[in-house]
Structure 1
Amino acid sequence: MPLTKMDREILKLMQQDATITLGELAHRTGQSASSAQRRLQKLREDKVILRDVSVVDPKKVGANVSMLVEVELERDRPELLPPFMRWLVETPEVQEAWVTSGRGDYTLVVLARSVEHFDELADRMMELNPNIRKFTTSVVLKTLKRTLAVHVE
């Protein structure tokens, strides 16, 4: 679906604040409320907008430590991949997971209450996933930027 200039403007505004009213969205994009609603609905139907979420400050809910974890798997054990994928999906501390090139096969963003909490999580990860060859962890010392916004220029 090719995006119009108006679609892109709606996407920018919705990424800034998804609680914006239809009236305000219409006003800020220079269209009628019904037109803004139709465009917004079409963006959702076409899966350009996947879902609307609230961005939560991790530290205010007890997730005090952020880590980047590179996981390297045993390549000769493909039958063990589904349990690892299930573990990724079912583990709430894993905020994001990517299949990557480079040193590791997967890179994870993990939020934990403490280093000890992460250590317990890592022990469970290794116990439940025998195809993990090794993993390396980088502790985030300072967050300089955190966003879910996608550039739509």
Structure 2
Amino acid sequence: MALTKADREILKLMQQDATITLNELAERVGLSPSSAQRRLQKLREDRVILRDVSIVDPKKVGTAVSMLVEVELERDRPELMPPFLRWLADTPEVQEAWGTSGRGDFTLVILVQSVEHFDVLADRMMEMNPNIRKFTTSVVLKTLKRTLAVHVE
């Protein structure tokens, strides 16, 4: 799908605040409300917009400790991956997970209530995934920027 200038503006505005009214969205993009609604629906149908979510302040819900975890696997055999991928999918504390190049095979963003909670989680990760050779953890001391917005210029 080729994105128009209006589509890109809709994406920028929706990433800033998905609760914007259709009339306000249309006005700010310079379209009629029905045209803005059709474009927004098409962006959703084409899976350009994957979903609309609320961004929650982790500190206000008791998950104030962020960890960056680099995981190194013992072997790179495809048949050993399903338990690890299942563990990632089933573990709500894992906020993001990437397959990476470099020292580790995966980098995880984990949000927990405390370091003690992370210790329990790490023990469970190692127990359920014998293919993990080692992992290193960095505790996030200060969040300087957090966004899920994608640059659409």
Q: TM-score range by the shorter chain?
A: over 0.9
SS at match of 1:7: helix
Q: Any unmatched runs of 5+ in structure 1? A: none
Aligned to 1:19: 19
Residues 95-136 of structure 1: CA deviation (Å, up to 9, x unaligned) = 000000000000000000000000000000000000000000
- Superposition RMSD on alpha carbons, in Å? 0.8
Aligned residues: 153
Following the alignment from structure 1 to structure 2, what is the Cα–Cα distance between the partners of residues 25 and 76? 48
My pick for the range that moved more, 73-82 or 84-93, is 73-82
Aligned to 1:67: 67
The CA deviation at 1:2 is: 1.0
Q: Any unmatched runs of 5+ in structure 2? A: none
Q: How does 1:102-121 map to 2 (within 5 A)?
A: 102-121=102-121
Q: How does 1:115-134 map to 2 (within 5 A)?
A: 115-134=115-134
Aligned to 1:78: 78
Counterpart residue type for residue 85 of structure 1: L
Instruction: Kindly indicate whether the alpha-carbon contact (under 8 Å) linking 1:71 and 1:132 is maintained by their aligned counterparts in 2.
Output: yes
TM-score (norm 2): 0.98
SS at match of 1:85: helix
Instruction: Kindly indicate whether the alpha-carbon contact (under 8 Å) linking 1:70 and 1:105 is maintained by their aligned counterparts in 2.
Output: yes
Q: Which runs of 4+ in 1 moved over 4 A?
A: none
Counterpart residue type for residue 18 of structure 1: A
Following the alignment from structure 1 to structure 2, what is the Cα–Cα distance between the partners of residues 76 and 41? 41
Equivalent pairs: percent with the same residue?
86
- Using a 3 Å threshold, how does the CA distance of structure 1 residues 55 and 76 change in structure 2: closer, same or farther? closer
The CA deviation at 1:75 is: 1.5
Q: How does 1:44-55 map to 2 (within 5 A)?
A: 44-55=44-55
